[in-house]
Amino acid sequence: MSTTSEGPARSEAESMIAEAKKALWVMVGLLAVLWLLQIVNAVEGYDLSTEFGIEPRDPASLPEIFSAPLMHSGWAHIEGNSGPLFVFGFLAAYRGVKKWLSVSVLIIVASGLGVWFTAPSHSITIGASGLVFGYFGYIIVRGLFDRHPIDIVIGLVMALCFAYQFTALLPTDERISWQGHLFGFVGGIIGGWLFRDRRPKAVATPDAATTLLPKDFS
């Protein structure tokens, strides 16, 4: 009995470790791309930020929803985003990189559209902070939706340790895109629900089912 019960558990653990390794390298690769683009952007005098940032309510700027998270306005901007992006992104991806990709696209679209519809006119929004807050929201609720005890603990710990981040969801500084933060956060929560683990419902076996007999046999 012990061999049978340990087998699936060991297989699941090995699978999780393999996905965690993938998640680690994916996040390292993502940060490498962001920093490479930052170097190019700085050399170009930050013209890329203007060209690939989101301009609210400009139809021509809708494709920039996908490029804006890759751009930053300076070294302090990318430094401030890199640490949280790596931590939250890894925690969002360690159970499955494919699911993480779907969640990431949802967060980017939610954050970008939120900025496009609600940000002040004649402004340009860039930066990965919408993605950071999306991952933050996702890991907070994922354990509740998936019913994984470990993820529930991780979500609770992250919520408590980074509780100060919730202030960035409010319009406290006109230089910061709280719209991108808020809509990214909401996108992460929605992603936790849409991409939750759907476990098959238990089906009663014939032995466990109650047998109804005709009246003549009662």
**13-197 CATH, one of 1.10.3720.10, 3.30.420.250, 1.10.645.10, 1.20.1540.10:** 1.20.1540.10
Average pLDDT over residues 40-66: 97
The pLDDT value given to residue 132: 97
Of 58-62, 145-149, 164-168, 205-209, which range is least confident? 205-209
Q: Closest Cα to residue 74, out of 106, 34, 46, 37?
A: 46
Query: What is 67-128 written as a DSSP string?
Result: HGGG--SSHHHHHHHHHHHHHHHHHHHTT-HHHHHHHHHHHHHHHHHHHHHHSPTT--B--S
Q: How far is CA 66 from the centre of its chain?
A: 15
Q: What is the pTM of this model?
A: 0.86
Alpha-carbon distance values, 186 to 26, 32, 46, 59, 83 (Å): 23, 27, 30, 23, 21
139-178 tens-digit pLDDT: 999 999 999 999 999 999 999 999 888 888 988 888 889 9
Residue 202's φ and ψ, nearest 5 degrees, are -70, 135
pLDDT value at 1 more than 70 = no
The pLDDT value given to residue 6: 62
pLDDT interval class at 212 (50, 70, 90): very low
The pLDDT value given to residue 15: 84
